[in-house]
């Protein structure tokens, strides 16, 4: 384990291992919904940032990159429908285990696909809004650049990549709260590593032209691209 002054890049999260315990992985997917409700800030992000953008078109489209357990795209489409927004959501993840997990439950109004952002670029797809949740810290620099390049081609109006923001306080608080789950899923160990792998805003400044980065409460980081501003 490295100090929190710099990112930990050598270690790999347990859930990213293709040979990991599938039972524990699926428990982790199921627990994402609770964690995301507590720390990911999607309700506020939807109200303040996504909803205004979605209301600029009669039937907006949204792409979620890296859906994991599938809770974020389901919540986004639910909020939008309650606000009278006829939102069409596509959610992608390249991991066949994630695809199998979400495939066992009714997808409802969300289209789940096992695919990458590059696959959708090759198909010529575009969406009004592109989002991701806790994805950036998983990516090495070259993969992160590919994601942002793909996002620029996929997002017609707005893109928001919502990730963790590395801090000692976040690491300590998460360790305490999730310790009871340490043996029943990957949530405890992988969450702590995710925090150590995550960025601080200054580490993403000038990462790529047209993108802005800002800190958000409590321990989040938003990397945003307003395609509409340059239209």
Other Cβ atoms closer than 10 A to 101:
22
Asked if residue 2 is part of any domain, the answer here is no
| Stretch (H or E) spanning 63 | strand 61-65
Asked if residue 209 is part of any domain, the answer here is yes
Asked if residue 4 is part of any domain, the answer here is no
Q: Structural domain tally of the chain?
A: 1
Asked if residue 3 is part of any domain, the answer here is no
Report pTM. 0.95
Asked if residue 45 is part of any domain, the answer here is yes
Confidence check: pLDDT of 2 > 80: no
Quick one: pLDDT at residue 107? 75
Q: In which band, very low, low, confident or very high, does the pLDDT at 85 lie, cut at 50, 70 and 90?
A: very high
Q: In which band, very low, low, confident or very high, does the pLDDT at 229 lie, cut at 50, 70 and 90?
A: low
Confidence check: pLDDT of 144 > 70: yes
* Full domain range(s) for residue 97: 14-230
Which CA distances in Å does 6 have to 27, 126, 134? 30, 35, 18
Confidence check: pLDDT of 230 > 70: no
Name the DSSP class of 179: G
Asked if residue 1 is part of any domain, the answer here is no
Asked if residue 111 is part of any domain, the answer here is yes
Q: How far apart (Å, rounded) are the C-alpha atoms in residues 227 and 90?
A: 19
Confidence check: pLDDT of 1 > 80: no
Confidence check: pLDDT of 231 > 60: no
Region of 124 (left: φ > 0; alpha: ψ -120 to 50; beta: rest) is left
pLDDT > 90: percent of the chain: 93
Return the CATH number at 215.
3.40.50.150
Tens of pLDDT, residues 21-71: 999 999 999 999 999 999 999 999 999 999 999 999 999 999 999 999 999
Asked if residue 5 is part of any domain, the answer here is no
Q: What is the dihedral of CA 154, 157, 208, 202, to 10 degrees?
A: -130
């Amino acid at each position: 384990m490295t100090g929190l002054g710099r990112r930990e890049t050598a270690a790999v999260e347990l859930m990213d291992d293709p040979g990991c315990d599938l039972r524990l992985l699926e428990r982790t997917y199921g627990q994402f919904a609770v964690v995301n409700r507590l720390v990911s800030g999607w309700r506020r992000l939807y109200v303040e940032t996504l909803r205004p953008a979605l209301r600029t078109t009669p039937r907006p489209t949204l792409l979620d990159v890296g859906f994991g357990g599938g809770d974020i795209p389901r919540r986004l489409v639910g909020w939008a429908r309650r606000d009278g927004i006829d939102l069409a959501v596509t959610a992608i993840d390249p991991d066949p285990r994630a695809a199998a997990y979400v495939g066992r439950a009714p997808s409802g109004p969300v289209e789940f696909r096992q695919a990458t952002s590059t696959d959708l670029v090759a198909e010529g797809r575009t969406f009004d809004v592109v989002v991701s949740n806790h994805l950036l810290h998983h990516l090495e620099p070259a993969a992160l650049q590919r994601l942002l390049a793909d996002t620029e081609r996929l997002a017609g109006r707005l893109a928001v990549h919502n990730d963790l923001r590395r801090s000692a306080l976040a690491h300590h608080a998460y360790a305490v709260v999730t310790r009871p789950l340490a043996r029943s899923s990957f949530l405890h160990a992988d969450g702590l590593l995710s925090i150590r792998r995550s960025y601080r805003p200054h580490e993403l400044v000038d990462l790529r032209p047209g993108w802005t980065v800002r800190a958000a409460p409590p321990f989040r980081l938003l990397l945003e691209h307003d395609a509409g501003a340059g239209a």
